[in-house]
Amino acid sequence: MNNAKFVKEITVIDPDSKGEVQMEIYKHENGGMFAVDSSYLEQCCDEDSYPIIPDVFTANGGLEEAEFVMLTNS
């Protein structure tokens, strides 16, 4: 399992609803960066543990078992 370190939270405008959306930016240990909708993490993850989500940088084409990444604060 890979890790991704929290960088910061930003606000973006949803192009469909035109509403504000809070996004959390993470730095993947392979060097890439990605953002996750903060409300998604609040709904699906326990506040007392680090979230584990499907790894967005996995290039298995869906042919193998999915890999995961742990989102951390440090």
DSSP string, 10-36: EEEE-TTT--EEEEEEEEETTS-EEEE
Residue 10 pairs with which residues in a beta bridge? 23
pTM value? Answer: 0.82
Q: How many domains does the chain have?
A: 1
Torsion (CA) 46, 14, 8, 57 in degrees, nearest 10 = 70
What would the pLDDT profile of 8-52 be if each residue is shown by its tens digit?
Answer: 999 999 999 999 999 999 999 989 999 999 999 888 777 777 888
Q: Domain range spanning residue 16?
A: 2-72
Tokens (6 digits) for 47 = 């506040």
